[in-house]
Amino acid sequence: MSKPRIIASAALTALLGGVIAAFAVIWRPAIEAIEPAAPQSFEPALVKRGRDLAAIGNCSDCHTARDGKSFAGGVPVPTPFGTIYSPNITPDPNTGIGRWSEAAFRRAMRSGVDRAGQHLYPTFPYDHFTNVTDEDDRALYAFLMTRPAFRAPARANDLAFPLNQRFVVAGWKLLYLKGGTYKPDDTQSAEWNRGAYLVEGLAHCGACHTPRNTLGAEKPSASFSGGDVDNWHAYAINAQSPSPLPWTTDALFHYLRQGWDGDHGVARGPMAEVTANLSMVPEKDVRAIALYMASVFGPPTQDRLANANATRADIKSPSAQPARADTLGGSIYQAACATCHESDRPLPYSGINLRLSTALSAPDPRNAANIILSGIRPVTGERSPIMPGFANSMSDDQISALLSYLRGRFSNQPAWAGVEQTVRDARKSETVFLQTQPERNGAPASSMQRDKP
């Protein structure tokens, strides 16, 4: 063989090898369609467990559109790469997952591939769901397959080339999808491990609370350091937490279960849906999540404890901090906010003392701007926290002045930059948010009835 021919055949082999390798990475077989299983074929106890797991997984939040049918999808999920619409996961045979076998469902959960063999975008958090056990996948499958089927064809995603090509996702997975289910830590208690299993897996807390890199993958080095979701900031829930008082296991449990905590305030924005869901699941799972998360926050440092004590003292004797009502922001606070936020009524039916507000100590004013604009809407038919929105009565300049004042008066952090721009953006996204988010489908747990199925 002559030299050029050797080179040519080597190149050909390499090319062929590359094609085969790429094929192996990208290609996934279809899993055979099944006749939709009869709902009665699933054990009621399994379905019930699936319901609890689906609530912990917050499935309804992404898969139920405002005024839409439960789990019928169509929720626009804004990402830096474009808008992705959630699919229909009801058992409708043609537009839902009615023809998916349990194996197909498990493959989707574990490796983000649909029944037909197409790669799913990682907006579906299979990088977390890979941790879910076969047993729990079976329960989730049983739950979804016994929901009412709704016909709702998938909406086309709004992604630019090349991201609209699903094979690109295969490359993403090669980089960021670590397979394997959750490995218990033997040095920790069973309860801690249960919490870790749920948090790292089905509950996918990091999907919102961990920052993402330029390719949209969670940064493992910055686990729980705070992320972005739907124009809200998901706070850091580790040692970098901006919360004025440190989180404890009890506070976390109360907050996650009831939707509010006296030291930290009321869950709102996308977190309200999470706590509404957690009000309906077995209490011990929420306790386990709280216990694990408390260990992620870690014990507070001496500095943090000292700050917390100073904050508590300041709340007891507010005269130490004179109100500066001579500015526009101060005047607005005194006239519009103080009535509720300085009342002595207890949470959750009054405003939190703003010294305790995480929003005002947060790295940017997004959440505070959102809440001033749209307030907190009460849950239909339930007793629940409420705050009027001020979008119609305050201009952007007035809200900016108010935010700057609140930051200066109630947090120990440096002034925010770019408040005006944040308020303008928040006003734009507020309208969209109110139109697309589902109504909270449950209330934070009250002392009565919530544990019963």
Partner 1 sequence: MTTLKVNGQDHQIESDPDTPLLYVLRDELKLNAAKFGCGLGQCGACTVIVDGRAVLSCVTPLLLLKGKEVTTLEGLGSLEKPAPIQRAFMEEQAAQCGYCIAGMMMRAQALLQRNPKPTDAQIRAELEPNLCRCGTHMRILRAVHRAARLMDTAELTPSEQGGVR
Binding residues for partner 1 (CB under 8 A): 67, 325, 328, 331-332, 334-336, 339-340, 375, 377, 380, 386-388, 390, 392-395, 398
Query: Which of residues 282 and 388 has its CB atom nearest to partner 1 in the complex?
Result: 388
Q: How far is the CB of 444 from partner 1 (least distance, A)?
A: 18
Q: Shortest approach of partner 1 to residue 273 CB, angstroms?
A: 18
Q: Which is nearer to partner 1, 177 or 328 (CB)?
A: 328
Pick between residue 244 and residue 259 the one whose CB is nearest to partner 1: 259
Q: Which is nearer to partner 1, 245 or 337 (CB)?
A: 337
Secondary structure percentages of the chain, helix, strand, coil, to 5: 45, 5, 45
Least CB distance to partner 1 at residue 438 (A): 13
Contact 283, 270 (CB under 8 A): no
Helical residues (DSSP H) of 317-412, grouped into ranges: 328-332, 338-341, 358-361, 366-374, 396-410
Number of helices and strands in the chain (H, E): 19, 7
Quick check: helix, strand or coil at residue 134? helix
How far is it, in rounded angstroms, from Cα 227 to Cα 233? 6
145 contacts 39 by C-beta, under 8 angstroms: yes
Q: How far apart are CA 342 and CA 344, in angstroms?
A: 6
Across-strand partners of 234?
227
Residue 318 is classified by DSSP as: G
Closest distance of CB 328 from partner 1, Å = 8
CB closer to partner 1, 108 vs 419 = 419
Smallest distance, Å, CB 435 to partner 1?
10
The phi and psi torsions of 124 (rounded to 5 degrees) equal -80, 115
In this complex, which beta carbon is closest to partner 1, that of residue 216 or of residue 438? Answer: 438
CB of 60 to partner 1, least distance (A): 20
Question: What is the closest distance, in whole angstroms, from the C-beta atom of residue 393 to partner 1 in the complex?
Answer: 4
**Residue among 77, 64, 74, 84 at smallest CA distance from 148:** 64
Q: Which is nearer to partner 1, 140 or 402 (CB)?
A: 402
